[in-house]
Amino acid sequence: MTAFTGFALYEQGALPRPIRRSPPPLDDDQVLVRVAGCGICHTDLGFIYRGIRTRHALPLILGHEISGVVEEAGAGFAHLAGTPVVVPAVLPCNQCDDCRAGQTMICTQQIMPGNDADGGFATHVVLPGAGLCPIPGGSADPDASLGDVPGLTLRHMAVVADAVATAYQAVERSGLGPGELVVVMGLGGAGGFAAQIAADRGAVVVGLDVDPDRLAAGDQFGCRNTLSPLGRHPREIRALVRDVAKEFGAPLTRWTIIECSGTAAGQQTAFGLLVPGATLMLVGYTLEKVELRLSNLMAFDARALGNWGCDPALYPAIVDLVLQGRIALVPHSEIRPLNEIGSALEDVHHGRAQRRIVLAP
Would the CA dihedral through 3, 89, 26, 156 be positive or negative? negative
Phi-psi region of 84 (alpha: psi -120 to 50; beta: other; left: phi over 0): beta
Q: Which of 251, 254, 228 is nearest to 240 (CA)?
A: 228
Q: Which of 25, 139, 46, 34 is nearest to 87 (CA)?
A: 34
pLDDT reported for residue 68: 98
The C-alpha atoms of residue 167 and residue 173 are separated, in whole angstroms, by 10
* Domain 164-306 architecture: 3-Layer(aba) Sandwich (3.40)
pLDDT digit string, tens, across residues 260-292:
999 999 999 999 999 999 999 999 999 899 999
Q: Which of 155, 172, 79 is nearest to 120 (CA)?
A: 155
**Contact of 314 with 169, CB cutoff 8 Å:** yes
The C-alpha atoms of residue 225 and residue 204 are separated, in whole angstroms, by 9
DSSP string, 277-338: T-EEEE----SS-----THHHHHTT-EEEE--S--GGGHHHHHHHHHTTSS--GGGEEEEEG
The C-alpha atoms of residue 265 and residue 210 are separated, in whole angstroms, by 11
Band (pLDDT 50/70/90 cuts) for residue 5 is very high
Chain centre to alpha carbon of residue 162 = 3
Describe the crossing of helices 163-174 and 190-200 by its angle, rounded to 10 degrees. Answer: 50
| Burial readout 210-219 (b: 16 or more C-beta within 10 A, e: otherwise) | eeeebbebbe
The C-alpha atoms of residue 94 and residue 268 are separated, in whole angstroms, by 36
> Is the model's pLDDT at 29 over the cut of 90?
yes
pLDDT reported for residue 148: 84
CATH tag, 4-162+310-360: 3.90.180.10
DSSP annotation of 12 reads T
Indicate the average pLDDT of the chain: 96
Mean local confidence (pLDDT), 329-341:
97
pLDDT reported for residue 23: 86
> Is the model's pLDDT at 352 over the cut of 80?
yes
pLDDT digit string, tens, across residues 171-219:
999 999 999 999 999 999 999 999 999 999 999 999 999 999 999 999 9
HEC-encoded secondary structure of 55-100: CCCCCEECCCEEEEEEEEECHHHHHHCCCEEEECCCECCCCCHHHH
Specify the pTM.
0.96
* Greater pLDDT, 287 or 162: 162
Describe the crossing of helices 341-349 and 42-49 by its angle, rounded to 10 degrees. Answer: 100
Band (pLDDT 50/70/90 cuts) for residue 147 is confident
Band (pLDDT 50/70/90 cuts) for residue 77 is very high
pLDDT reported for residue 229: 96
Q: Domain residues of the chain, as ranges?
A: 4-162+310-360, 164-306
pLDDT reported for residue 88: 98
The C-alpha atoms of residue 16 and residue 8 are separated, in whole angstroms, by 5
pLDDT digit string, tens, across residues 79-138:
999 999 999 999 999 999 999 999 999 999 999 999 999 999 999 999 999 999 999 998
pLDDT digit string, tens, across residues 163-180:
999 999 999 999 999 999
4-162+310-360 and 164-306 share one fold: no
DSSP annotation of 176 reads -
pLDDT reported for residue 2: 76
* Greater pLDDT, 51 or 250: 250
